[in-house]
Amino acid sequence: MEKSLTLDSQAPMETQHAEEGPGSGIFRAEPGDPLRMPEAQQQPISQAGRWCTWRHGWAALGALGLLAGASVGSWLLVLYLWPAASQPVPGTLQDEEMTWNCSEASSEEALLPSLPRTVSFRINAEDYLLEVQVRARPDWLLVCHEGWSSALGVQICQSLGHLRLVDHKAVNLSDIRLNSSREFAQLSPRLGGLPEEVWQPRDSCASGQIVSLKCSECGARPLASRIVGGQAAAPGRWPWQASVALGFRHTCGGSVLAPHWVVTAAHCMHSFRLSRLSSWRVHTGLVSHSSVRPHQGAVVERIIAHPLYSAQNHDYDVALLQLRTPLHFSDTVGAVCLPAKEKDFPRGSQCWVSGWGHTDPSHTHSSDTLQDTVVPLLSTQLCNSSCVYGGALTPRMLCAGYLDGRADACQGDSGGPLVCLDEGTWRLVGVVSWGRGCAEPNHPGVYGKVAEFLDWIQDTAQDCAYRMKAAVQKPVVTVKDMFVHGAFW
């Protein structure tokens, strides 16, 4: 199983148009090659000029030789005297990255240590009781119902990576069994302080009630335990995997966030922005495309690209698809969780990318069956170095894959999910975006960084839900009422 996904190195996505039809396919976009410096114009040189040039050249070479010798001597001396404890551990990702001797585009990543979160939340999976942890205290505290509101519930669900709040209620302490040493946290009436000051520890709740919170379901794989090893993905392995089709042909990948919402790459939709909206379909629960029948799939109601998307460098490469009718969740169809706010997946994290794209660098064969492969996250500092992408990555991008090119995403995988496991929950960390070549050495895959789009995704979904509700209540809806900023239609 050498690789299951790779990336294409053809022309940028923005050069394709709807007139080409769906048969041309979508692939991970590729920014243009760096501009080459023009060659120096040849000028006549006299014999005296040549002698002068040679004399200065030999002098320069002699000076460079002395400098190189001094540098090597100093380097050997440092290696000899440097303590052994400072050497990188063999076999680690750090060792792999340090072997590449190339100039770094930025050192900011090493200078900005991540700060621990001051307040964390979690929801008990059995009874949905909300718990909070303040940085100064190691234990988890049940939340008293005093001062609680639905708006706070929405905020907490979103911070945990869920798209929406499903239900919240007060639970009587007398109705549940608790350890006698269990403590509580009460929301302070004064909400203007630091986050850790808002939640005050208590021995009991004055109301005798605590908060039960239920968020939208996501990040679970009901059939994952039935999967046997292999390159092709079995039904239910990635229940959030979607196929975005134009007409009857697979165009891009996508990820289910909620029954009405699928996220994909903006460059997928931008390339076919002149196509009819009614021609787009989203297929879920698929493993093989050969099983798709005409007129199947969910109809796309609205396509909303990020308003800051750039077709030149594929910055902000993310788009939302709103479906006309909700998806029916099952063992093979479900939602992926968004990253929890302030949650950082470090370099070296083993994540998975999946799709129906080409399975070989020559692009001669597209897969009818859903494929997947594991790829480690790489540091942005490494991927922006001169020997990889030379500073092409923006803060809205992340890098994953192998420097030796053993596995990657490829043509047809654009918009698909890069997911990482976080304490038993699968989270959408990246959206397949662009790269140079398919599984080429020194050119790993580049993905849209979902953590940078959280506010936009959540605000857009809430805004559209509000507009849909208002449209149902109003007898007449104008074009202006149905327009969404950043949408192509």
Q: List residues with catalytic annotation.
A: 267, 317, 414
Its sign, for the CA torsion 151, 156, 161, 165, is: negative
Residue 125: C-alpha distances to residues 111, 132, 258 (Å): 38, 14, 19
Cβ atoms < 10 Å from Cβ of 291:
11
């590449």: which residue's tokens?
Answer: 100
Which of 223, 226, 227 shows the shortest CA–CA distance to 240? 223
Amino acid at 378: L
